[in-house]
């Protein structure tokens, strides 16, 4: 597959995705009233966790090892939340930042995998892992149920974003357009789940049945 403009990712896109997730990590630390060092640890682990797993699985150099900017992003996110954390927490920013980062990073992760000529189906899975694994790390560190256990439409939104991007790219749609379509669709699905309470049916649950 020929490389396309989005597949050769400019660094600022990756920085932006890590920043969003780092902020959610720092906000999780703020919610539990940790110290500033723990803020930084949460921010960095959340920001680079998904991308690290992706790179290890596809045999790419781990993206942040050769670029200390990602550690500074974690420090900046920690400081921003430390200063403005109370106002940010009251605005319920965490869940919306997470939705935005989920959709964007699903596309970014799939794009990097495609750039290394990974099979499109595997590239879609790499997009999902990139988008979701940092949040899993954040929730485990914070002692909260992970996204995988909350029965929320989260992984499905990442799958929609990365799958739509990969599918449209394979069909030769210009990559930037494919990325925008995928990210917007993924965010829209996650936003609908947040606002309207959409969720997938559980095993053994019938349509229209409500939990007690």
In a domain, residue 103? The reply is yes
* Closest to 45 measured CA to CA, from 8, 10, 73: 73
pLDDT in tens, 144-162: 877 666 667 889 999 999 9
Instruction: Count how many domains the chain has.
Output: 1
Q: Does residue 177 form part of some domain? A: yes
Backbone angles phi, psi at 7, to 5 degrees: -70, -30
Report percent pLDDT > 90 for the chain. 49
Please report the pLDDT score of residue 56 as a whole number.
Answer: 95
Q: What is the pTM of this model?
A: 0.84
Question: Looking at the domain assignment, is residue 45 inside a domain?
Answer: yes
In a domain, 50, yes or no: yes
Q: Which residues of 81-110 are buried (b: 16+ CB within 10 A; e: fewer)?
A: beeebeebeeeebbeebbbbbbbbbbbbbb
pLDDT the model gives residue 2: 43
The CA distance from 162 to 128, in Å, is 7
Whether residue 206 lies inside any domain: the answer is no
Residue 168 has pLDDT above 90, yes or no: yes
- Domain containing 159: what range? 11-196
Which pLDDT tens digit goes with each residue over 10-65?
A: 677 778 888 988 988 998 888 888 999 999 999 999 999 999 999 999 999 998 99
Q: Is 71 part of any domain?
A: yes
- The per-residue pLDDT for 146 is 74
């Amino acid at each position: 597959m020929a490389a396309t403009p989005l597949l050769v990712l400019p660094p600022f896109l990756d920085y932006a995705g890590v920043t969003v997730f780092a902020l959610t990590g720092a906000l999780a630390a703020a919610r539990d009233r940790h110290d500033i060092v723990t803020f930084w640890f949460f921010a960095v682990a959340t920001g680079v966790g998904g991308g690290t797993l992706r790179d290890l699985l596809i045999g790419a150099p781990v993206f942040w090892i050769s670029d200390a900017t990602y550690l500074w992003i974690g420090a900046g996110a920690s400081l921003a939340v430390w200063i403005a954390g109370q106002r940010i927490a009251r605005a319920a920013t965490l869940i919306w930042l997470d939705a935005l980062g989920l959709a964007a990073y699903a596309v970014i992760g799939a794009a990097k995998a495609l750039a290394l000529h990974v099979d499109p189906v595997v590239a879609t899975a790499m997009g999902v892992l990139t988008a979701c694994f940092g949040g899993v790390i954040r929730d485990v560190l914070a002692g909260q149920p992970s996204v995988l256990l909350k029965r929320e439409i989260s992984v499905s939104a990442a799958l929609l974003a990365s799958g739509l991007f990969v599918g449209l790219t394979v069909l030769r749609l210009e990559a930037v357009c494919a990325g925008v379509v995928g990210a917007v669709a993924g965010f829209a699905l996650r936003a609908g789940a947040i606002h309207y309470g959409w969720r997938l049916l559980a095993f053994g649950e019938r349509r229209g049945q409500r939990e007690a």
